[in-house]
Amino acid sequence: MVHEFSDLVEKVGSDVSTLSIGDNIAAESVVWCGTCQPCRSGYPNQCRHVELMGLSIDGALAEFVAVSERCCWKINELANRYSEKDVFDIGALIEPVGCAYNGLFVAGGEFKPGATAVIYGVGPIGLGAVALARVAGAGKIIAFDVIDQRVDTARRLGADYSFNINSLNGYSPAEKVMELTKGRGADVQVEAAGAAPKIIPEMERALSAQGKIIYLGRAATSTPVHLDTLVSGAGSIIGARGHSGCGIFPYIIELIASDKLHLEGMITTTYSSDEILTAIENSMDRRNGKILVRMND
């Protein structure tokens, strides 16, 4: 278990050249082969033989974890902004924020400063999308969730408007977006809720001309899509998975180190290593933003 983590390098292999004992690192959890066609074409997140730390291979819920050098990114420079303990806290946020970065700026092809961004589902990835949209110059950021605590966290991370979908006083999310944009619709909308059958139709009804829907969440069932909406409005739906490649981790690290990107508000609860079971149980209610377990506490 655990694929969103940062750590201290305790030992390196004989062929390692970019890391040293004592380095602080954040780790990519997408382990790609490097030899299949998608990898060799520059799409490691679509690797045909991909392994996912904490899912298909061992994760970081342990005293030690072995990680490939190419998956590790040094975060030593974050010590200029944060205490030693906080460096690792912030480092553990880079993975989920990386997924949002991939969706917004790599797969999604960026958006213009001043654009309206709407994020559905503000767990760690959705909150990362809120924070990144703010630092990238979105003119208006609207966030939706079904849990009040997450709605409040999104507002602290930079959302201009943040709503509980179940408390819209008769409005649908699409109607609220159209009201706030004076009928223009949203330029970019992120589905990070994992509830596509309910959310995608709302996104379609509130999509601006040439607007984009970035699909990051995963749903177990298929979703009906009114394709004519995309044709007549020149819109698009873009799927994005993972955070590897395209300089994603180093760009996020630079944004944090330069005091441009502030992620600490994502962390809503921390636990010590002897509280792991409690942390897992409490994560099931999905009320938190980012839950952290400090393995050395």
Task: Write out the residue limits of the CATH 3.90.180.10 domain(s) in the chain.
Answer: 6-96+244-294
Grade residue 271 by pLDDT with cuts at 50, 70 and 90: confident
Mean pLDDT within 69-89:
94
Asked whether residue 1 carries a pLDDT value surpassing 70, the answer given is no
Backbone angles phi, psi at 20, to 5 degrees: -130, 155
Q: How confident is the model at residue 279 (pLDDT cuts 50, 70, 90)?
A: confident
Q: Which of 12-26, 168-182, 278-292 has the lowest mean pLDDT?
A: 278-292
Distance separating alpha carbons of residues 262 and 123, to the nearest angstrom: 16
pLDDT of 274 reads 81
Of the given ranges (63-67, 118-122, 157-161, 248-252), which has the lowest mean pLDDT?
Answer: 63-67
Could you tell me which residues come within 8 angstroms of residue 260 by beta carbon, excluding any fewer than 6 positions away? 135
Structure-model confidence comparison of residues 65 and 286, the more confident one = 65
Residue 147 pLDDT more than 70?
A: yes
- Of 276 and 65, the structure prediction assigns the larger pLDDT to 65
CATH pick for 100-239 out of 3.40.190.10, 3.40.50.720, 3.30.60.50, 3.40.50.2000 = 3.40.50.720
User: Model-level pTM?
Assistant: 0.94
Mean pLDDT (the chain, rounded): 93
The boundaries of every CATH 3.40.50.720 domain in the chain are 100-239
* Percent of the chain clearing pLDDT 90 (strictly above): 77
CATH class of segment(s) 6-96+244-294? alpha beta
Dihedral class, residue 68 (left if φ above 0, else alpha if ψ from -120 to 50, else beta): beta
Give the dihedral of Cα atoms 24, 78, 100, 248; nearest 10 deg.
-70
Higher pLDDT, 150 or 3: 150
Q: For residues 184-206, give the mean pLDDT.
A: 96
Q: Which helix (H) or strand (E) holds 253?
A: helix 248-257
pLDDT tier for residue 297 given thresholds of 50, 70 and 90? low
Q: What would the two tokens of residue 188 be?
A: 């970019």
Give the number of other CB atoms < 10 A from CB of residue 8: 13
Nearest CA to 52 among 269, 191, 218?
Answer: 218
Is 51 in a helix, a strand, or coil? Answer: strand
